């Protein structure tokens, strides 16, 4: 039987991206620095289910210039996480300066983006009653 291991995304700022996923409740489980190849691989997972991971690839910028900017594509859609309380999660993200692109107006679904614009879907475990300020919060940009 095959086994799902991880989804890999490329990141331009490792610390910023780790903080983003930590706001969602994920924890770092493994980190490998490759001096020769000049890249770092960092794996995060949800506590209690360390088998399904997100892998961050950080290519060290060239010593004489700036790093690559990672464009998005349409064939990849998003990563989805179930959360215990979508309002609390979105509030924690907002307080840390993360834009809620699609607020949880329905008490069930929200979309945000990582610092490199990877779309993240948040899904409430069950459904909460619609509540302000979320119920009347407009969308911001795309997701």
Binding site for its own copies (CB under 8 A): 1-10, 24-26, 45-49, 51-52, 54-55, 57, 68, 70-84, 89, 116-118, 121, 123, 125
Can you give the C-alpha Rg of the chain in angstroms? Answer: 16
CB 124 within 8 A of CB 15: no
Nearest alpha-carbon partner for 116 in 41, 17, 6, 8: 17
CB of 17 to its own copies, least distance (A): 11
Write down the residue that tokens 């107006």 correspond to: 105
Helix (H, G, I), strand (E, B) or coil at 121: strand
CB of 25 to its own copies, least distance (A): 4
CB of 109 to its own copies, least distance (A): 12
Q: Given 50, 55, 68, 121, which residue is catalytic?
A: 121
Residue 63 among the catalytic residues:
no
Catalytic residues: 121
């Amino acid at each position: 039987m095959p086994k799902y291991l991880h989804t890999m995304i490329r990141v331009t700022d490792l610390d910023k991206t780790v903080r983003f996923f930590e706001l969602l409740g994920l924890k770092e489980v493994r980190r490998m620095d490759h001096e020769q190849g000049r890249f770092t691989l960092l794996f995060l997972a949800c506590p209690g289910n360390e088998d399904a991971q997100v892998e961050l690839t950080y290519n060290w910028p060239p010593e004489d210039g700036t790093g690559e900017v990672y464009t998005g594509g349409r064939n990849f859609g998003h990563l989805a996480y179930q959360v215990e309380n979508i309002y609390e999660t979105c509030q924690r993200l907002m307080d840390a300066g993360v834009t809620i692109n699609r607020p949880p107006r329905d008490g069930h679904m929200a979309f945000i983006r990582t610092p490199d614009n990877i779309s993240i879907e948040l899904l409430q475990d069950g459904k909460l009653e619609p509540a302000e300020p979320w119920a009347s919060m407009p969308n911001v940009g795309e997701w």
